[in-house]
């Protein structure tokens, strides 16, 4: 799927592992140890700016960025020529396979996907989160 009007690159600091870790700790909850290697996934990454920043700032992390828009994924693959720890996946959430996703994630982030998509796609995203999130992992899901 490709859009006539690409989703513009946006940086959301709230999706960054350090931000999520700080908020989790401030709320008195335990999260994954992000000082060690971890897996981070963005469902609906668009141009992948958040994934690029995460991969650059956390070289020990394995970053997976997924989107249905082939043009956006092509752009991300072109822009991600540097970080070896970033995988750009062209897939709809409902068809994202465990093979494409790899091992379970310590962090799953999604911005808007749960409110901008059809009920079926929304449920598929929630299913991916439930199936692919490591026990004790963190989810960032902004709906607006």
Q: How many residues does the chain have?
A: 144
- Listed by start position, the domains of the chain span 13-142
How many whole angstroms separate alpha carbon 43 and alpha carbon 96? Answer: 10
* pLDDT tens figures, 92-136: 777 776 677 778 999 999 987 788 778 888 888 888 889 889 999
CATH number for the segment(s) 13-142: 3.40.50.150
Q: With 70 as the cut, is the pLDDT of residue 5 above it?
A: no
How many whole angstroms separate alpha carbon 83 and alpha carbon 144? Answer: 29
Query: 141 pairs with which residues across the strands?
Result: 110
* pLDDT tens figures, 85-103: 999 999 877 777 667 777 8
Among candidate residues 79, 143, 32, the one with its CA nearest the CA of residue 43: 143
| pLDDT value for 125 | 85
């Amino acid at each position: 799927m490709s859009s006539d009007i690409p989703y513009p690159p946006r940086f959301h600091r709230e999706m960054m592992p350090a931000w999520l870790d700080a908020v989790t700790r401030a709320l008195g909850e335990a999260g994954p140890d992000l000082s060690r290697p971890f897996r981070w996934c963005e469902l609906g990454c668009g141009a992948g700016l958040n994934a690029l920043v995460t991969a650059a700032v956390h070289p020990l992390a394995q970053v997976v960025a997924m989107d249905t828009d082939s043009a956006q994924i092509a752009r991300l693959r072109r822009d991600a020529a540097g970080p070896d720890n970033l995988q750009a996946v062209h897939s709809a959430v409902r068809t994202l396979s465990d093979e494409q996703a790899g091992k379970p994630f310590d962090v799953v982030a999604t911005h808007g996907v749960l409110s901008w998509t059809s009920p079926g796609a929304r449920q598929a995203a929630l299913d991916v989160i439930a199936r692919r999130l490591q026990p004790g992992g963190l989810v960032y899901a902004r709906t607006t």
